């Protein structure tokens, strides 16, 4: 099993992971085999049509009561506008969410980030689902959905993006996760939505594509000290620091932070760019304002405004997701930037992303991460990103894709 808290790869890790992934195709998945998702046995069967696997039912036929939990637990709807609830969710995830394979790092999504990620335009409070212990009222599990319009080839489909599935460490392997997934499915169905998109570090039936994380060291000394990276063969610390050195400020004339007045131009740029991918979000101006307008310690977006024509020609963005460093004497947090959506029409993508690295370094990030989605392959190696040990598998629920996609055919980044 691999996890998307990725760190730099060593070849043994790759070999072990490929072996595990190949074995997982033969595993049985009691729960997932009962769900409307692409099944392993159907891989390569081109007689099956693309599109919804099951038809919607009448809303009156959707189960009206929540699924049953073990008797010591109860459902709760988490009000993410409440600081108290937001803190409870933050602490559950801080202590129990995704770790890397060697348990060295754990995602540490901030309260501000969670509040942003879970309250996009048109969000449903009922899709922020917690489980509490009845006796202590302690929050012990969580799963969320947010609404999104996702285009698959030429169909725009209303979906739920499912994220933050988490069961407290002490309650693992008790089949709580399938109940949580069924409950979020029920609540999504109640809003007359029948498809979903999600990512996971584990192989389940059946990925629409499998992506790789790449890492660009910004603070190589710290990354090596905490075991995120290793000193390369025939490298010294001072040569490594020199290798990753960046200029103090961006090189592109007209490179600046995105502002509210840029929303219409950025929306046009992004819609046009994303139209070339097989699967991508269908963003309107409201979505762009929410998902891409800079917000301190959550999302950073920059664009290039032509100094002559004042036209907006290029755009880049990254989100802030630190990880806790588990059991290191000197450091407790790894500050990571994650590449989000980037569009180049005039500035070469390589130069645009180099400027993104420069501003990320100015903001004191330790590492800049990117998946091999969209056109990212074209800059990863040249900008000194190295492959990570984390794979990220993308999935659709109740929507069949005929052939596995290449990562470069995917125009979707989930948080
Ligand atoms: S991905 C992030 C997931 N979270 C973590 O990795 C945090 C740390 N881990 C945990 O908290 C637990 O290990 C979790 C599983 C909660 C992950 N996605 O209860 P169990 C299946 C889907 O005994 P536990 C994210 O948030 C597993 O294959 N299924 O196991 C996106 C097995 O089923 P089967 C998963 O370890 C989430 C069953 O659960 C995952 O105690 C998208 C075992 O249950 C996983 N990441 O708990 C969710 N991990 O026997 C799907 C394990 O069949 C959304 N399992 O193999 C689907 C769309 C729903 C909406 C539809 C609307 C139309």
Residue nearest to atom 33 of ligand 1 (CA): 31
Helix axes 111-118, 83-96, angle to 10 degrees: 110
The closest residue, in CA terms, to atom 59 on ligand 1 is 185
Say how far apart CA 182 and CA 163 lie, in whole Å: 14
Residue 284 pLDDT greater than 70, yes or no: yes
Decide if pLDDT at 242 tops 60. Answer: yes
pLDDT score, position 13: 61
353: preceding bond cis by omega (within 30 degrees): no
Q: Which atom of ligand 1 is nearest to the CA of 163?
A: 26
Q: Which is nearest to 7 in space by CA: 392, 391, 393, 389?
A: 389
State in Å: Cα 31 to ligand 1 middle.
10
8 Å CB contact between 300 and 116? no
Question: Which atom from ligand 1 is nearest to the alpha carbon of 31?
Answer: 53
Q: pTM here?
A: 0.96
Whether the pLDDT of residue 22 is over 70: the answer is no
Query: Is 3 a residue whose pLDDT tops 60?
Result: no
Nearest to 195 by CA among 151, 227, 250, 226: 151
161 with 197: CB under 8 angstroms?
Answer: yes
pLDDT beyond 80 at 11 = no
Distance 179 CA to ligand 1 centre (A): 10
Binding site membership of 398 for ligand 1 (Cβ less than 6 Å)? yes
Instruction: Decide if pLDDT at 256 tops 50.
Output: yes
Q: DSSP string spanning 340-370?
A: ---EESSS-HHHHHHHHHHHHHHTT-SEEEE
Confidence of residue 26 (pLDDT cuts 50, 70, 90): confident
- Please, what is the average pLDDT of the chain? 96
Atom of ligand 1 nearest to the CA of 160: 62
Averaged pLDDT for residues 2-26: 66
With a CB cutoff of 8 Å and minimum separation 6, the contacts of 109 are: 90, 93, 94, 97, 117, 164, 321
pLDDT band, residue 2 (cuts 50/70/90): very low
Distance 185 CA to ligand 1 centre (A): 13
Which of 288, 256, 259, 290 is closest to 271 using CA atoms? 288
Grade residue 6 by pLDDT with cuts at 50, 70 and 90.
confident
Q: Is 174 in the pocket of ligand 1 (CB under 6 A)?
A: yes
pLDDT > 90? residue 17:
no
Share of the chain above pLDDT 90, in %: 93
Measured in angstroms, how far is the CA atom of residue 97 from the centroid of ligand 1? 11
Measured in Å, residue 77 CA sits from the centre of ligand 1 at: 19
Residue whose Cα lies nearest atom 47 of ligand 1: it is 177
Distance 178 CA to ligand 1 centre (A): 7
**Nearest residue (CA) to ligand 1, atom 5:** 98
Residues 319-375: tens digit of each pLDDT: 999 999 999 999 999 999 999 999 999 999 999 999 999 999 999 999 999 999 999
What is the best residue among 36, 37, 165, 393 to mutate for testing ligand 1's pocket, by most ligand atoms within 8 Å of CB?
165
DSSP at 37 = S
Residue 395 Cβ inside 6 Å of ligand 1? The answer reads no
Q: Is the CB of 163 under 6 A from ligand 1?
A: yes
The SS3 assignment for 339 reads strand
At 25 the pLDDT is 72
Cβ–ligand 1 contact at 198 (below 6 Å): yes
Hey, which residues are catalytic here?
415
Which of 200, 206, 397, 412 should be mutated for ligand 1, with most atoms under 8 A from CB? 200
Q: Answer yes or no: is pLDDT of 154 > 90.
A: yes
Q: Are 398 and 24 in contact (CB under 8 A)?
A: no
- Tokens 């942003």 locate to 116
* pLDDT band of 20, cuts 50, 70, 90: low
Ligand 1 neighbour 184 (Cβ under 6 A): yes
Spatial separation of the C-alpha atoms in residues 363 and 240, rounded to whole Å: 21
CB burial of 273-285 (b: ≥16 within 10 Å; e: otherwise) equals bbeebbbbbebee
Instruction: Yes or no: say if 316 and 301 are a contact pair by the CB < 8 Å rule.
Output: yes
Residue 172 alpha carbon to ligand 1 centre in Å: 10
Task: Classify strands 279-281 and 255-257 as parallel, antiparallel or unpaired.
Answer: unpaired
Helix intervals (H) in 226-342? 237-243, 263-274, 285-292
User: Hey, whose CA ends up nearest to atom 62 of ligand 1?
Assistant: 185
């Amino acid at each position: 099993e691999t996890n998307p808290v990725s760190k730099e790869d060593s070849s043994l890790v790759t070999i072990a992971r490929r072996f595990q992934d190949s074995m997982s195709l033969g595993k049985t998945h009691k729960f997932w085999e009962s769900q409307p998702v692409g099944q392993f046995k159907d891989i390569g069967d081109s007689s099956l049509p693309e599109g919804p696997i099951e038809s919607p039912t009448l809303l009156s036929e959707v189960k009206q009561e929540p699924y049953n939990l073990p008797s010591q637990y109860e459902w709760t709807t988490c009000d993410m506008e409440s600081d108290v609830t937001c803190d409870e969710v933050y602490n559950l995830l801080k202590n129990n969410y995704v770790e890397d394979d060697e348990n060295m790092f754990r995602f540490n999504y901030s309260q501000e980030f969670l509040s942003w990620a879970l309250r996009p335009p048109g969000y449903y409070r009922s899709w922020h689902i917690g489980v509490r212990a009845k006796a202590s009222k302690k929050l012990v599990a969580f799963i969320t959905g947010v609404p999104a319009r996702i285009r698959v080839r030429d169909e725009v489909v209303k979906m739920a993006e499912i994220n933050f599935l988490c069961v407290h460490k002490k309650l693992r392997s008790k089949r709580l996760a399938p109940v949580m997934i069924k409950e979020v499915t029920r609540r999504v169905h109640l809003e007359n939505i029948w498809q979903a998109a999600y990512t996971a570090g584990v192989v389940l039936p059946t990925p629409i594509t499998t992506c790789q994380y790449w890492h660009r060291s910004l603070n190589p000394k710290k990354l090596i000290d905490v075991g995120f990276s290793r000193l390369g063969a025939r490298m010294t610390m001072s040569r490594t620091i020199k290798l990753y050195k960046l200029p103090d400020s961006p090189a592109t004339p007209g490179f600046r932070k995105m502002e509210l007045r840029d929303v219409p131009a950025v929306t046009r740029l992004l819609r046009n760019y994303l139209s070339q991918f097989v699967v991508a979000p269908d963003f309107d101006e409201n979505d762009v304002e929410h998902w891409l307008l800079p917000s301190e310690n959550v999302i950073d977006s920059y664009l290039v405004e032509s100094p002559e024509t004042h036209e907006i020609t290029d755009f880049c963005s990254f989100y802030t997701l630190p990880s806790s460093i588990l059991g290191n004497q000197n450091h407790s947090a790894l500050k990571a930037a994650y590449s989000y959506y980037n569009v180049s029409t005039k500035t070469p993508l390589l130069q645009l992303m180099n400027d993104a690295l420069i501003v990320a370094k100015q903001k004191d990030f330790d590492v800049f991460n990117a998946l091999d989605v969209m056109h990212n392959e074209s800059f990863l190696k040249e900008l000194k990103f190295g492959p990570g040990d984390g794979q990220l598998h993308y999935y659709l629920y109740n929507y069949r894709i005929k052939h596995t996609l290449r990562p470069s055919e995917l125009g979707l980044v989930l948080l």
